Amino acid sequence: MALKKNGFIPSSAPEELKKVLVAVASVWGDTIEDMEEFHVFPLKGAMTNEVFQINWPTNHGDLHQKVLVRVYGKGVEVFFNRDDEIRTFECMSELGQGPRLLGRFSDGRIEEFIHARTLSAADLRVPEISSLIAAKLREFNNLDMPGPKNVLLWERLRTWLSQAKRFCSPSTAKEFGLDGLEEEISILEKELTQGYQEIGFCHNDLQYGNIMMDEETRVITLIDYEYASYNPVAYDLANHFCEMAANYHSETPHILDYSIYPDLEERRRFISAYLVSSGNEYSDAKVEQLLSDAEKYTLANHLFWGLWGIISGHLNKIDFNYLEYARQRFQQYWLTKPLHLSS
pLDDT number for residue 204: 98
User: Are 326 and 199 part of one and the same domain?
Assistant: yes
pLDDT number for residue 221: 96
Q: Is the pLDDT assigned to residue 2 strictly greater than 60?
A: no
> What are the C-alpha distances in Å from 98 to residues 61, 252, 341?
29, 30, 37
Helix boundaries (H) for 35-126: 82-94
> Residues 234, 199: contact at Cβ < 8 Å?
no
Query: How large is the average pLDDT for residues 104-122?
Result: 92
Cross-strand bridge partners of residue 327: none
User: Are 140 and 43 part of one and the same domain?
Assistant: no
Q: Is the pLDDT assigned to residue 341 strictly greater than 90?
A: no
> What are the C-alpha distances in Å from 209 to residues 222, 285, 333?
9, 32, 24
Strands 64-71 and 108-112: antiparallel
Sheet of strand 220-222: strand arrangement: 117-118, 211-213, 220-222
Q: How many structural domains is the chain composed of? A: 2
> Residues 297, 234: contact at Cβ < 8 Å?
yes
Q: What is the largest CA-CA distance in the chain?
A: 68
pLDDT number for residue 328: 98
Q: Is the pLDDT assigned to residue 71 strictly greater than 80?
A: yes
User: Are 142 and 164 part of one and the same domain?
Assistant: yes
State how far the Cα of 206 lies from the Cα of 242, in Å rounded to an integer.
9
Q: Is the pLDDT assigned to residue 48 strictly greater than 80?
A: no
Q: Show Cβ contacts of residue 334 under 8 Å, excluding neighbours closer than 6 positions.
A: none
User: Are 61 and 138 part of one and the same domain?
Assistant: no
* One-letter amino acid of 257: D
- pLDDT tens for 221-236 read 999 999 999 999 999 9
* Domain end position, chosen among 112, 135, 163: 112
User: Are 108 and 142 part of one and the same domain?
Assistant: no
pLDDT band at 7 (very low <50, low <70, confident <90, very high): low
- pLDDT tens for 216-270 read 999 999 999 999 999 999 999 999 999 999 999 999 999 999 999 999 999 999 9
In the DSSP assignment, the letter for residue 214 is -
> Residues 45, 209: contact at Cβ < 8 Å?
yes
CATH number at residue 57: 3.30.200
247 within a domain of the structure (yes/no): yes
pLDDT band at 174 (very low <50, low <70, confident <90, very high): very high
CATH number at residue 134: 3.90.1200.10
6 within a domain of the structure (yes/no): no
Sign of the dihedral defined by the CA atoms of residues 177, 178, 182, 184, in that order: positive
> Residues 148, 234: contact at Cβ < 8 Å?
no
User: Are 78 and 50 part of one and the same domain?
Assistant: yes
Domain that holds residue 163: 117-341
User: Are 98 and 147 part of one and the same domain?
Assistant: no
* Domain end position, chosen among 71, 86, 112: 112
User: Are 233 and 139 part of one and the same domain?
Assistant: yes
1 within a domain of the structure (yes/no): no
User: Are 195 and 123 part of one and the same domain?
Assistant: yes
User: Are 235 and 177 part of one and the same domain?
Assistant: yes
Q: Is the pLDDT assigned to residue 212 strictly greater than 90?
A: yes
Phi, psi of 38 (to 5 degrees): -85, 125
pLDDT band at 8 (very low <50, low <70, confident <90, very high): low
pTM of the model: 0.90
Query: How large is the average pLDDT for residues 147-168?
Result: 96
User: Are 122 and 243 part of one and the same domain?
Assistant: yes
User: Are 238 and 331 part of one and the same domain?
Assistant: yes
State how far the Cα of 121 lies from the Cα of 75, in Å rounded to an integer.
28
321 within a domain of the structure (yes/no): yes
pLDDT band at 5 (very low <50, low <70, confident <90, very high): low
Q: Which H or E element spans position 68?
A: strand 64-71
State how far the Cα of 311 lies from the Cα of 322, in Å rounded to an integer.
8
* Domain end position, chosen among 112, 133, 164: 112
pLDDT band at 61 (very low <50, low <70, confident <90, very high): low
Sheet of strand 108-112: strand arrangement: 7-8, 39-43, 50-57, 64-71, 108-112, 101-105
pLDDT number for residue 50: 86
- Of 212, 204, 161, give the one whose Cα is nearest residue 185: 161
3 within a domain of the structure (yes/no): no
